Amino acid sequence: MLMEAQSAYRTIKVQSQETGFGAEVTGVDLSKPLPPAVLAEVKDAWARHAVLAFPDQPLTLDQLEAFTLQIGPFGHDPYVEPMPGHPNVLEVRREPDEKVTPFGGNWHSDWSFQATPPAATILRSETIPPVGGDTLYADASRAYDELSEAMKDRLAPLRAIHSASRAYGPNSAYARELHLRAMPIIVSPEADKTCVHPLVRTHPVTGRKALFVSPVYTVGIEGMAPNDADPLLAELHKHIVQDRFVYRHHWREGMVVIWDNRCTMHNALGGYDGHRRVMHRTTVAGETPT
């Protein structure tokens, strides 16, 4: 259920979910450069709600790139070939005859295995199937807030180990399915490298703390044996994706969604076998998690 949040804004209209996590923004045209006052309000709404949906924004690829650069510089997107002539745009495509799990079809925060993971992901819908294809977003900030004080103290000094090995390594699921997918996914031994980040990170804009772990990319905890780390990570993953922390987004064609990878996880659902789904995706560079 969307709730009016207009009182906070003068140039845009914002309707948020009841929890405040996730909102729809109207009264703005993303195909043109945003005036400073409008851009400031968009960024403020993004900081407040973490996931913003902009309906009725049928952007060209050039316009999608231009909007991305208003949010920040492009991030680095490995393991998927970019679109011809658009090195910073990935096409997320699934054809009607594909039977494998949709790209992004497990809980994760984009590219968390990088030293500086992307702050934002921006996704624009091109072709939307008549059924299925929703995206789930989990609020890792409120999930942290609702932990016990004892658990917060336990997690404070821990550092999580991230890797792309499960998704893009030589022995990954994608490696076994390349011939079954329309997307040009790249499998590489580079994916087996690891990067360590705080298990609880602090958002550089809001100052809120959030759990920064995901089932896809978090493979361990620094200094902790797997038989100790794995149950703790499983407990945190289960906690984050409880219904009360999750916003289910239903796509429409010509919609742009931006989400904050620093305080959310997401999961691309299927349910549209026999139908084509095409999205165009960019990322915004982030900072070293602290």
Write out pLDDT tens, residues 248-265. 999 999 999 999 999 999
* Under 8 Å between Cβ of 122 and 67: yes
The answer to whether residue 232 is domain-embedded is: yes
Weakest mean pLDDT among 75-79, 135-139, 169-173, 277-281: 169-173
The answer to whether residue 258 is domain-embedded is: yes
Residue 4 has pLDDT above 70, yes or no: no
Write out pLDDT tens, residues 163-192. 999 999 999 989 888 889 989 999 999 999
- Nearest-angstrom CA–CA distance, 107 and 138: 9
> Phi and psi (nearest 5°) for 268?
-85, 115
Q: Scanning the structure block, which residue is given the tokens 């909102």?
A: 23
Write out pLDDT tens, residues 69-83. 999 999 999 999 999
Residue 6 has pLDDT above 60, yes or no: no
- Nearest-angstrom CA–CA distance, 25 and 51: 10
Residue 3 has pLDDT above 70, yes or no: no
Q: Residue 7: its pLDDT value, please?
A: 63
- The CATH number of residue 46's host domain is 3.60.130.10
- Nearest-angstrom CA–CA distance, 21 and 133: 20
pTM over 0.85: yes
Q: Residue 1: its pLDDT value, please?
A: 47
Rounded percentage of the chain residues whose pLDDT exceeds 70:
98
Of the pLDDT bands very low, low, confident and very high (cuts 50, 70, 90), residue 243 is very high
The answer to whether residue 254 is domain-embedded is: yes
DSSP calls for 55-121: -S----HHHHHHHHHHH-SB----SBPPBTTBTT-EEEEE-TT--SPPTT-S-B-TTTTSSS--SEE
The answer to whether residue 289 is domain-embedded is: no
* Under 8 Å between Cβ of 77 and 161: no
The answer to whether residue 205 is domain-embedded is: yes
Range of the domain at 246: 2-284
Extended beta strands in the chain, E state: 2-4, 13-17, 23-26, 51-54, 90-94, 120-127, 135-139, 159-163, 194-198, 200-202, 209-211, 218-221, 246-249, 256-260, 264-268, 277-284
The answer to whether residue 290 is domain-embedded is: no
Q: Number of structural domains, the chain?
A: 1
Of the pLDDT bands very low, low, confident and very high (cuts 50, 70, 90), residue 198 is very high
Higher pLDDT, 172 or 108: 108
- Nearest-angstrom CA–CA distance, 125 and 12: 21
Closest CA to 271 of 129, 161, 176, 143: 129
DSSP category for residue 154: H
At CA 13, angle to CA 52 and CA 21, rounded to 5?
A: 35
User: Stretch 238-250: mean pLDDT, rounded?
Assistant: 98
Residue 87 has pLDDT above 80, yes or no: yes
The answer to whether residue 109 is domain-embedded is: yes
Rounded percentage of the chain residues whose pLDDT exceeds 90:
93
* Under 8 Å between Cβ of 200 and 144: yes
